[in-house]
A and B are shown apart, each in its own frame.
Chain A
Amino acid sequence: QKEVEQDPGPLSVPEGAIVSLNCTYSNSAFQYFMWYRQYSRKGPELLMYTYSSGNKEDGRFTAQVDKSSKYISLFIRDSQPSDSATYLCAMSALDNNDMRFGAGTRLTVKP
């Protein structure tokens, strides 16, 4: 079993839809959770990060962490064609910066 599991998709939605992206993990030491967005032929860029459990909202994006279930989510409201990218979850433990990435979910938002 991989430490971080993420459905690679692809996921295709119409413009304006609510998108839900998810990851599960097995290492209970993970405390720091991140979502990166990667456009085609570009490097990943940090979208959101959360520490421990809870929700965090930033504009159209909401990140949720449920440590009891070892499950994290990223919601995108009112999705736009410009949101089309690969979304990677990443996480690390408190005592190191050894970050583990999910496989990435490829999202296409159709106009």
Chain B
Amino acid sequence: DTAVSQTPKYLVTQMGNDKSIKCEQNLGHDTMYWYKQDSKKFLKIMFSYNNKELIINETVPNRFSPKSPDKAHLNLHINSLELGDSAVYFCASSQDLSLAGGREQFFGPGTRLTVL
């Protein structure tokens, strides 16, 4: 009954490869996010999706492409992986954009990506 789940938990791959990380939430939330947490624990938002529409796209290289087949899923596809992409990637979801608790973001367990 995990609220936000991600697969895989660990991903080790070679530079130049293409990989995907999957995320699913069973909370009925409208908004989902991808975050990158670097080795210094700094958590930075990459994308968010509200009802399948991209609403935030920070200065993220276009090698990263989020895909949302439905409201409960937000996958992250990464092309031509680079050494600097090594990090922990967290998926999160929130109920909606309203105040009063609607903004609480529930995080998945993270995917630890290592690029060799």
Given A32-B103, A43-B4, A46-B104: A97 and B31 interface contact (C-beta under 8 Å): yes
CB of A60 within 8 A of chain B?
A: no
CB of A29 within 8 A of chain B?
A: no
Given A43-B4, A44-B90: A101 and B110 interface contact (C-beta under 8 Å): no
Task: Say how far B103's CB is from chain A's closest CB, in angstroms.
Answer: 6
Bitwise interface map of A from 90 to 111 toward B, beta carbon under 8 Å scored 1, else 0: 0010101111110110100000
Contacting residue for A43 out of B41, B56, B101, B107, CB 8 A? B107
CB neighbours (8 Å) of B100 from chain A are: 51
Which residue of chain A is the closest to B48 with respect to CB atoms?
A: A97
Roughly how many angstroms separate A44 CA and B43 CA in the complex, as a whole number? 10
Contact A98 B45 (CB under 8 A): yes
CB neighbours (8 Å) of B103 from chain A are: 32, 49, 92, 97, 99
Which residues in window 26-85 of A have CB below 8 A to B?
Answer: 32, 34, 38, 41-46, 49, 51
A-side interface residues toward B, CB under 8 Å? 8, 32, 34, 38, 41-46, 49, 51, 86, 88, 92, 94, 96-101, 103-104, 106
